[in-house]
A and B are shown apart, each in its own frame.
Chain A
Amino acid sequence: MNCEQIQDILLNDYLNKEISPEQKKVVDEHLDQCPTCMEFFNHATEVILPMETAQKHSVPDDDWQNIKNRIETQKEKGTSIFHFPKPILPLAFAALLLISFFAAREFAETIKPPIVCVMEHEDAILYLTDEFEEFMGTDFENEEYFLEEFFL
């Protein structure tokens, strides 16, 4: 393997620590006898070392208390108490089918669609978004960075 190939492996699998023992051996042996690649390797390690040795910060003391308070405030406001059953979408769809069926049969009659369920606004949106995400395999909250992936 030439130096270019070695440096390529170094920047990828080697520093990712996702390298086979055989390949690692080849790279290590090359490093031992090639000062250029060794310098390259040291240089790469140098910029990574501060991350590898980064200290872990402890979570702020009031963190949990703040989260708990905010959950409780939200509960008091009543935004998240309402637990919505999962199969509501298929149910709603089934209901819609039934309605269409009767609508077709009793063609001339005016039909008032029944209210299937009343749901908190936020919960409804959240639920439908999750359902749709699941269906499409997309995470809408990721939308922003997916767009950047494609266009920037």
Chain B
Amino acid sequence: MNNMDDLITQDIIKKASTGDLDAFEKIYRYYAGFVFNVSLRVTNDRETAKDVSQEVFLTVYRKLKNFRFDSSFKTWLYRIAMNTAINTAKKESKIKEKALKSHIEEPGKPWQNDVNKHMDQVDNEQRLNTLLSKLQVQERACMVLKHIEGLSCQDIADALKMNVNTVKTKLRRAREKLMTLRKDVVKNEL
């Protein structure tokens, strides 16, 4: 199979797998943007995303010697990235849940504050963070890959090691969830 990306040749991958840092840097430069942005959206936290990004490339470097050329390098790397980001996000959300439980539910949760009072003023970034935070981690990962990174459902399925129909179900559920939330907020406003 020849799924190799134009810029990251088999030769570069082979060199990097023997520990050649210059070759590895080429791989890094090519994928760093994707890895960092996806980590940022899935974990919803810049510092965590930095850690995830580093972890991803260290794992890639460590596992490169076991990479087989019978599958696409891009898919292989995406898989490591999504895996690391999702698992980190899950751990983080467990920590946050604990922290929330120790507090009594405050009347003004960030989502309602944002949306009720200044939905129109909050910038896109903040709105995006709020929307993504309402989704379950895997739904979030699907939505990020679909609507921010523009991947096809099949590519998302490959990156998440899921069935393509599961991906479609998650995307649909995520959209419905966000639409319902938005509706509730509008109702509250009236």
| Chain A contacts to B: CB under 8 angstroms | 11-12, 15-16, 18, 43-44, 46-48, 50-60, 63-64, 66-68, 70-71, 74-75, 80-81, 83-84, 86, 126-127, 130, 134, 139, 141-142, 144-146, 148-149
Contact = CB atoms under 8 A, between A and B. Distances in A.
Nearest to A139: B161
Contacts of A127: 66
A56 B38 CA distance: 10
B112 to A, nearest CB: 16
Interface size class of B (residues with CB under 8 A): 35 or more
Contacts of B183: 43
A52 B127 CA distance: 12
B36 A60 contact: yes
B131 to A, nearest CB: 6
B19 A51 contact: no
A16 B58 contact: no
A63 B34 CA distance: 13
Contact of A67 (B41, B57, B179): B57
Contacts, number: 121
Nearest to A18: B153
B87 A16 contact: no
Interface in B59-77: 61-63, 65-66, 68
B148 A144 contact: no
B18 interface: yes
A59 B62 contact: no
B53 A16 contact: no
Given A71-B58, A126-B66, 11 more contacts: A12-B168, A16-B171, A51-B143, A52-B148, A54-B124, A56-B33, A57-B40, A67-B57, A67-B61, A68-B21, A70-B58
A63 B146 CA distance: 26
